[in-house]
Chains A and B, each alone.
Chain A
Amino acid sequence: MPGLTDTRPMTAPRPLPAEPSSTNESRHLLWIDGVGGFLLLTGQAVTIGGPTSAAADIQLLASLSRRHATIHRDDGGYLLEPHGPTRVNQRQTVEWTELTDGADITLGHTVQLGFHRPTVLSGSARLSFQSDHRPSHSLDGVVLVADTCLLGPGRDCHIRCSEWEDSVILIHRDQQWLVRSPRLALEVDGHRLRGESEIGNGQVVTGPDLRFHIEPLKTDSSQRGAMG
Chain B
Amino acid sequence: MSTKKFTFAPETTPLAGYTIKRGIQRGGFGEVYYAHSDGGKEVALKLLHSHAEVELRGTELCLNLKHPNLISIHDIKRDDDGDVWIVMEYVSGATLDGVLAEEFPDGMPTTEVRNWLKGLAAGVDYLHDRGIVHRDLKPQNLHREAGQVKIGDVGLSKIITPSQRGAQTESIGTIYYMAPEISRGEYGPEIDVYSSAAIVYELLTGHVPFDGETTAEILNRHLTDQPDLQPLPPALRPVLAHALAKDPAERTANLGTLLEEFDAALAGNPVSPSPPPEVVADPPSLGNNLAQPVTAKVISAETAGAVSATPTGLTSHTRPGRPPQPTSYDANPLGPLSPRSISLSRRGLEATAAMTAAILFSGLLAGGGWWIGMFDEGTPATPLAAVAYGLTTLVASWAMLIGTKAWEGTGPESLHLRRLSLLLLGGGAGAAGWWLHRVLLIDLPPLSETQNSGLVDSVGTFELVHNSQPTLTGYVIFFALLFGVRRWWWHTDSFRPKRLRVASLLLTLTVSGLLGLVLRFPLESAIAWGVGIAVVVQLAAPWVAPEQRASRVVADNLPSPETVDAPLNQQGATDE
Contacts and interface: CB of A to CB of B under 8 A. Distances in A.
Interface of A: 31-37, 132, 134, 136-138, 140, 163, 202, 204, 208-213, 215, 224-226, 228
Contact of B4 (A202, A209, A224): A209
Interface string B22-60: 111100000000101000101000000000000000000
Contacts of A224: 40
Given A37-B21, A212-B22, 4 more contacts: A137-B40, A209-B4, A215-B11, A215-B21
Contact of B23 (A34, A140, A226): A34
A211 B6 contact: yes
12 contacts: A33-B24, A34-B4, A36-B22, A37-B21, A138-B92, A140-B92, A204-B10, A208-B1, A209-B4, A211-B4, A211-B6, A213-B10
Nearest to A189: B9
A209 B2 CA distance: 6
Contacts of A36: 22
Contacts of A204: 9-10
B10 A132 contact: no
Contacts of A163: 4
B508 to A, nearest CB: 56
B90 interface: yes
B162 interface: no
A15 B299 CA distance: 74
Interface string B306-349: 00000000000000000000000000000000000000000000
A226 B37 CA distance: 11
Contact of B11 (A137, A210, A213): A213
B147 A132 contact: yes
B4 A31 contact: no
Given A33-B22, A34-B4, A212-B22, A226 B36 contact: yes
B36 A211 contact: no
Contacts of B34: 31, 37
A210 to B, nearest CB: 7
Given A34-B4, A37-B34, A138 B22 contact: no
The 7 nearest A-B residue pairs measured at CB: A138-B92, A132-B146, A33-B23, A31-B22, A209-B4, A31-B21, A213-B10
Contacts of A132: 93, 145-147
Nearest to A215: B11
A143 to B, nearest CB: 16
A210 B5 CA distance: 7
A134 B4 contact: no
B25 A34 contact: yes
B21 A138 contact: no
Given A132-B146, A137-B36, A138-B92, A33 B11 contact: no
Contacts of B92: 134, 138, 140
Contacts of A226: 36
Contact of B24 (A34, A136, A215): A34
B12 to A, nearest CB: 10
Contacts of B40: 136-137, 224-225, 228
Nearest to A210: B4
